[in-house]
Structure 1
């Protein structure tokens, strides 16, 4: 990396973005403010030139072939989600679920499994899973607090690990980090694969949710909520203010002829086409990893999202649930659904581009990279990501700020492209935890809406569980930094610790309740 001579000024653009996110709680204008700040500095203090430079940076990032494909992927994904919702497939699935579910445990486990199964988009988890199981949870006396916890804690973690729009975004951020670090020996898709085992918060959260759903051994305020639901049948506490208003964002679904195929087929089409696209674009590789290394994820994801959208249109017309006009209106509504997501993508890319041009990563490396021991790097990256995500309520904005810094910083310390790219998994781990704890997070709000829970109750009951997982994650990062223990060893150790903590906290909290009652 060549020095561009901006020195300490290079810190200002992301610092402005972070501070404004803290103060305004609005990610999009904060990211633009950071971009504009950098553009004014590059333009030698000329504000008008800075405006022009900002706009040109945005245009350059929008027309980049990789970025343009990811933007189209995002919009077509919105179309697919819109058709799944409007065609009423989730209601057909709910009717089938009611016929097969016989126990309270199966309700909880079914919610958990469906959440992971619909993780192609985190908002889709809340919308579909929420509407399938909300009435069933009421019938089997599962509290709104526990239901909303399952929705929230399977949404982002599953989307971050499986094929989804999150994967496209992560790959884009990793690409920026690799470019800034000057790493050319590893491709973005291969680097993304290496981050998966280091996204410990997502892995442990999905495991922990499954354990809680199976055992029913809750603790903290969640235990009180569950005791209330079981003993009184009250889905919400007295005085709660549920946030259920699904029609305001997505419109009311058509329930005249709900069919499960309208739920399943678009998702299957996307999944199959994405896998086929990865193979086709990377078919010159001689092994699975070789195929991934040579594949073009942006093309595969675009094909898959288009297949999902096209399947939705085809189902709407062939089943005659919609006429052509209604189908096209739904198509446009799907684009509208993703406008904010696409805007954040563009702003994140643009902010990353201006910080790269100003040499921010090089400046940080020159100041602390040579002196910072690797043992503390995962912990620092994790904690900083938590802080930013909690303040802003967004995992994506956090990744935009942290990933282009974390990868080159790790590369300067280790000189190892694999280890350096894997650090992006630590960024995402902290980002999702901070997002889970933040009451202004969009996925947290969506989970409250579609579960029919009081939002503050949802945040308060989820927080102890999220902290439990985060403590174990932090412990594993300390072990990794100190001894370079493989995630293949750390993950089983962490899972065992979670099982022990759950048992101890459940027993301890029950004992405390009994003592307080006596």
Structure 2
């Protein structure tokens, strides 16, 4: 009797529970628990099995590196906030911006230095725009939309020095390992970037609306800029990172960014160089995860020394680092559950089940269906990371069974999560930008939904067309 169908039961639990509760972590945990009891259906056996799988995931060498990277990265951001790096950047930029075009150009150019994470983008750019609302001549919702098109859609396409890249490579790694696919996960991630069509289309849409679109009728977007605009000083209260009590030190932001990017690129090249590869091939063949972790740790130490020279107290710097790192503990917990769930479903025979029952799906529909299904899930749960963790094993399995390009399907999975992060009223992106700009979350989400659906429609067509080519 084929019992591999048991392997889909955890997913049949996770997806509806996540959509109903609008909470990803409890849904994944419940799916993990159900999978554990399917493995060992005794009173204590299920709990013990779940514990074993999570521990095995956490002691994996690459997984530990990712946990260290995420915690240290968030800790570095915590020190940058505490030492006034973000407030300093916002203050200096706001002083120099005088026109709408300058403000919008700054929004795009600043991506080069603030692509660490979406929230990081929001707390460096949105307060500047809030301080310049009267000059920008856009509705607040239109402004928020433009800012968001330079956040998650851009960050998911950047292969180094972001809070996303370690997680994205990790879920590719475990999904390919479970499927028995011998491929370097980082290389596969790089190859998938051009196929994250939703992010690319959304960026282009943002550029069009910023610089080329001129509406002939008054916008119906919520909160008009010319209506009851708050005093410019009010923007200091929109986020703790730009609080008036913090010092104004823009170099406390710029130096860590230069260091982490520079060291990451250098150590990536150096690792490949020591293996005997040429300049360009070194970046492809290197152990990028190792390079990113080491570069980040060096940056943390040098940044802390730089802050100490400015007479910041060591205990305050350590507290800022720990508080920043702790902000990402929920993500680290999410990762450990995703790792455990993927391993359990693989041992239950998930790959065998997909191989036996998914052959009827036409090849040309696999990538677009993965995107549409993932976009629906991510919209209702509001989490790109949760969507990726749930869908990547399914996407890799379907790609192998249907003989579809792996980079194409991986790109479709990442695109589906990006849709939810951008469009969902439950996403951190939507809620953070709405709070900083003083918008109603629901009204702002409704405003974004139409262009997001247009971008999703274009994306779906592109997946169908590209499938024929590949």
Same-fold status (TM-score > 0.5): yes
C-alpha displacement at 1:95, in angstroms? 3.1
> Which of the numbers 18, 22, 27 marks the counterpart of 1:21?
18
Aligned to 1:173: 171
Shift of 1:438: 1.2
1:305–1:78 distance in 2 versus 1, CA, 3 Å: same
C-alpha distance in structure 2 between counterparts of 1:346 and 1:325, whole Å: 30
Q: Distance in 1 between matches of 2:353 and 2:396?
A: 14
**1:109/1:210 contact within 8 Å kept:** no
Task: Please state if 1:356 is matched with 2:346.
Answer: yes
The yes-or-no answer on 1:462 pairing with 2:448 is yes
- The CA deviation at 1:133 is 2.8
**Residue in 2 that maps onto 1:33:** 30
Q: Name the CA distance, whole Å, in 2 between partners of 1:360 and 1:289.
A: 38
Name the structure 1 match of 2:329. 339
**Contact 1:17–1:33 (Cα < 8 Å) also in 2:** yes
* Deviation (angstroms), 1:135: 0.6
Gaps of 5+ in 2: none
- Partner SS state of residue 445, structure 1: helix
- CA shift, 1:285, in A, is 5.7
Scaled by the length of structure 1, the TM-score of the pair is 0.83
Alignment correspondent of 1:214: 211
SS of alignment partner, residue 224 of structure 1: coil
* Cα distance in 2 between the residues matched to 1:116 and 1:205: 18
Distance, in Å, in 2 between the alignment partners of 1:180 and 1:285 is 31
Q: CA deviation at 1:198?
A: 0.4
Cα distance in structure 2, aligned partners of 1:218 and 1:444? 24
CA–CA distance in 2 between the matches of 1:219 and 1:74? 46
- Partners of 1:287 and 1:372 in 2: how far apart? 43
- Alignment: residue pair count: 462
Q: Deviation of residue 180 (structure 1)?
A: 2.2
Q: 2:323 matched to 1:327?
A: no
Question: Shift of the alpha carbon at 1:87?
Answer: 1.8
Aligned runs of 1:36-47 on 2, under 5 Å?
A: 36-43=33-40, 45-47=41-43
* Partner residue in 2 for 1:259: 249
Q: Relative to structure 1, is the Cα distance of residues 315 and 131 closer, same or farther in structure 2, using a 3 angstrom cutoff?
A: farther
User: Is residue 154 of structure 2 the alignment partner of residue 154 of structure 1?
Assistant: no
CA deviation map 1:480-514 (0-9, x unaligned):
12x216xxxxxxxxxxxxxxxxxxxxxxxxxxxxx
Mapped to 2, the partners of 1:334 and 1:459 lie a distance apart of 28
- Residue 128 (structure 2) pairs with residue 132 (structure 1): yes
Map 1:113-124 onto structure 2 (within 5 A).
113-115=109-111, 117-124=113-120
- Give the alignment of 1:471-482 within 5 angstroms: 471-481=457-467
Distance 1:117 1:464, change over 3 A: farther
Q: Report the Cα offset of residue 10 of structure 1.
A: 0.6
Q: 2:327 and 2:50 mapped to 1: Cα distance?
A: 25
Classify 1:119/1:219 alpha carbon distance in 2 versus 1 (closer, same or farther; 3 Å): farther
Q: Please give the alpha-carbon distance, in whole angstroms, between the structure 2 residues aligned to 1:219 and 1:425.
A: 37
Q: Match for residue 271 of structure 1?
A: 261
Alignment of 1:447-458 (within 5 A): 447-458=433-444
2:83 is matched with which residue?
87
Contact 2:87–2:243 (8 Å) recurs in 1: no
Q: What is the rounded CA distance, in whole Å, between the counterparts of 1:66 and 1:253 in structure 2?
A: 41
Give me the TM-score of the superposition, normalised by structure 2: 0.92
> In the alignment, what sits opposite 2:197?
200
Q: How does 1:35-74 map to 2 (within 5 A)?
A: 35-43=32-40, 45-74=41-70
1:303 maps to 294
